[in-house]
Amino acid sequence: MKKLLIALLGALAVFSVVGIPFNETASAADKGYTHIAVLSDLHLPGRILPEKEKAIETLNTWNDLDMVAVLGDICEDHGSIEEYAFAKQFLEKLKKPFSPIVGNHEYIYYDINPFNPKEKIAKGKHVVAASGTARRGKLKRFKEAFLLPEIYYTKKVDPYLLVFLSTDDLYVSHRTAMSDTQLEWLRAELGKNRSAPTIIFFHGPLEGTIGGGNLVDNDPVNYMVQPHREIRRILAENPQVFLWVSGHAHIAPTNSNFSHPINLYEQRVTNIHNPDMNGSSYLSEKDQKGTKHENIWTNSLFLFHDRVIVKTYDHKQGIWLRNLERVITPVAAQQQGSLIRDTPPAVAGVF
């Protein structure tokens, strides 16, 4: 009897571990799609903190939400111990799993001015690039804060491959650069998954996917993914990549660059620009240096078997912005060389 009881308890323990992901997968299958909310450039604690907290509360009410992608610049300025502690506590309020990646503010700047160790760098001033050793330490801090074995990784959401990349170059001054090691890993991962339509999440956008007078368009070295030539080669070798989901540029939905034909990179990969959540955005394509404001918008990706619906939520008004709905299919993005901008069917629990 004692042996039987132990066996039953062991079986229940295994079921409890295996059953959680099974139930989540079944839920996504039942509704016919996977809902991924995208958060970018929170700069925690930063500006408009009550609005940020309210946005998290709103996401927690979406019963169909499966996961959250967090696109970097989670920390306000320097990736200090205090900023990481606050960011960890803040993101743990999410009721769904979140997948974070590194932005420039997580690791690229010093906490303390190395030329005057008694002087802490002033708030908002991040002109002093950290050494390779200091950057390596902050990347380690990122992994420890969010319990990650590595800062770049993949997830499978049938039939899609989701690739999460991080800014991690230890030496160049570019704000959105990947290391050679990460690029080699990316090429290998894509090579192993040629048949899976692929979505890449990264802090910086693809070169040439923003136009107009915004500073981000006039400074591609610091605002577009680097090294851009190597990224172009990798994407050319892997036509299964059809979506690139980025932040960093602080492009608001009121800006024509937010949803525009220019977002289509090399006539094949659609760059989805995500607004910042710190109330400091390029509100129009003519906005040269960005504008302070009090609103928060977030994108959501709805992954169906044959298409991805992109929707934008206005947290101040509490509505989905219908005029920004996009439907993107891997085949259309690769073969037709254009975006499909149809009105998508209603998705239960969200629309």
Tens digits of residue pLDDT in 317-329 = 999 999 999 999 9
pLDDT at 292: 96
pLDDT at 212: 86
pLDDT at 288: 84
Share of the chain above pLDDT 90, in %: 73
Query: What would the mean pLDDT of 63-71 be, rounded to a whole number?
Result: 98
Phi, psi of 343 (to 5 degrees): -85, 120
- The domain limits of the chain are 32-336
299 neighbors 41 (Cβ within 8 angstroms): no
Query: What would the mean pLDDT of 273-300 be, rounded to a whole number?
Result: 95
pLDDT at 1: 42
pLDDT at 120: 57
Query: What would the mean pLDDT of 110-122 be, rounded to a whole number?
Result: 63
* Backbone region of residue 59 per phi and psi (left: phi > 0; alpha: psi in -120 to 50; beta: other values): alpha
336 neighbors 342 (Cβ within 8 angstroms): no
pLDDT at 129: 85
pLDDT at 24: 41
pLDDT at 173: 83
What secondary structure does DSSP assign to 192-243, as a single string?
Answer: HTTTS-EEEEESSPPTTS--SS-HHHH-HHHHS-BSHHHHHHHHHH-TTEEE
Share of the chain above pLDDT 70, in %: 81
Query: 110 pLDDT band (50/70/90 cuts)?
Result: confident
Tens digits of residue pLDDT in 151-209 = 999 999 999 999 999 999 999 888 999 999 999 999 999 999 999 999 999 999 999 99
CATH architecture of the domain 32-336 equals 4-Layer Sandwich (3.60)
